[in-house]
Amino acid sequence: MTDVKKVVLAYSGGLDTSVILQWLRDTYNCEVVTFTADLGQGEELEPARKKAQDFGVREIYIDDLREEFVRDFVFPMFRANTIYEGEYLLGTSIARPLIAKRQIEIARETGADAVCHGATGKGNDQVRFELGYYGLEPNIKVIAPWREWDLMSREKLLAYAEQHGIPIEGKQEGGGSPYSMDANLLHISYEGGVLEDPWTPNEESMWRWSVSPENAPDTPTIIDIDFEKGDPVAINGERIGPAELLSRLNRLGGDNGIGRIDIVENRYVGMKSRGCYETPGGTILLRAHRAIESITLDRETAHLKDSVMPRYAEMIYNGYWWSPERQAMQALIDETQATVNGTVRLKLYKGNVEVMGRHSDTDSLFDAAIATFEDDAGAYDQKDAAGFIRLNALRLRLAAKRRGG
C-alpha cells in the first residue's frame, strides 16, 4: 500500500464511514483525522464526535459550514438559474466542492498527507470530491475505499463491523431508511430501494420535508422576496442571513407541497440513475430569481445567460467547481447581476410557485409607456417596425428566390 502517515476522513459516524475508519487503520496503519461537515442536514452531529472519540481519534473536526455553503456555493449557483438536464437543482453536487475544500484545509492544518471519502466507484461523488482535492492540492494522496476493498455489500460491511466491535446503532435489519439519502440545506436526495426500478412509483412515506400537494393547505401562502445583486436578502421585508433565508423557504415550500421531483439522470460515469429530490426552498428561489431578472436584465444578456447555463450546470454536476472555466463563467454570470435588484411576490399553493408581481425601484427595464396597448403618446413609432422586418427578412427573401419561390 502507498505510504500514508495521516489521513483526513470525511466522516458521518454511520456504517460506511465507521467501517472506513477502522479499515484505514488496518490497511494503511495510519493516523486518522475525522471531519464532519454541518451543511444543514438536520441531524445531531455530536454523536459523530462521540463515536470518533470511542475509536481513539485524537483530532476531530465538526464544522458548521451552513452559512458558507449557502452564501458562497448555493447563491452563486442560483445566480445562473442552474438546472441539470432540465430538472435537477444540484443539491448534492454543489455541496461536494465545499467539503473537499475544508478537507484540504484540515489536511494542511494537521499535517496530513492524504484525504479519504466514502463515495462508491459507481457514482458521481467520487469524481466531485477528487477533482476538488486535486484542484486545490495537486499532490495530495486520495484514498477511495470502495475502489480498493472487497466489502461490496451491506452484509459484508455489517460483518466487518461486528468482527471489529464497531457499534452501528439503528442499523439492524428493518431499521432506518431503505434509501440512500443525502441531505443539506438545499435538498434531500433519495436513491436505491424500490427506486431502482424506474417503473415503480415512489412511496409517499419516503418524503421528509414536504407534504404531498394533495394534502397541502387549501389557502395559498403569499410571500415577498427581496434581491440585491442577484441574491435573496429578505423575506416579507425582514433581512436575514443566507442560511436562515434558505431554511425559511424550505419550511414555506415544504408546507405547501413544493419541490418534489422524481427523475432519471445521466451520471458522469456513464450510467443512468433514478433519484428523487426534495428542494422546496430552491424551487421557490429559482422561480423568484428568474422573475426579478425578467424586468432587470437586458434581453441579450438574459439570453446569453440562458445559453451558457447548461454548460455551467454540467460543470457543477460533474465536479468542476474549482476549474478555471467554471470560475471564468462565474465572473460572467456575476457581472450580469449588478442590476438584479428588487422584489418578487409569489403565491405558494399545492405544489406550485406562481409569480404574482415583480418590482424594482432602481433597475427595471420595463417601460409601461412603451409596452402599453393603449395610446402611447408617441413613445413608440409603429412605422419603424416595417424597416426592421424588411431588413431581417432580407436573407429569407433571397433564399426563397434561389428556390424559385
Q: Which residues are catalytic?
A: 16, 96, 125, 180
Please state, in angstroms and rounded to a whole number, the distance separating the CA atoms of residues 275 and 279.
13
Measured N-to-C along each axis, helices 96-110 and 125-136 cross at an angle, to the nearest 10 degrees, of 50
Please report where in the chains the cell 435573496 appears, as a residue: 232
CB 157 within 8 A of CB 16: yes
Q: Is 97 exposed, middle or buried, given 0-12, 13-18 or 19+ CB atoms closer than 10 A?
A: buried
CA atoms lying within 13 Å on the CB side of residue 143: 28
DSSP-derived secondary structure for 203-270: PGGG-SS---GGGS-SS-EEEEEEEETTEEEEETTEE--HHHHHHHHHHHHHHTT--EEEEEEE-TTS
Please state, in angstroms and rounded to a whole number, the distance separating the CA atoms of residues 323 and 338.
24
Q: In what order do the strands lie in the sheet with 221-228?
A: 238-239, 231-235, 221-228, 342-349, 352-359
- Closest to 243 (Cα-Cα) out of 51, 383, 6, 39: 39
Please state, in angstroms and rounded to a whole number, the distance separating the CA atoms of residues 404 and 402.
5
CB 101 within 8 A of CB 136: yes
- Closest to 284 (Cα-Cα) out of 323, 324, 235: 235
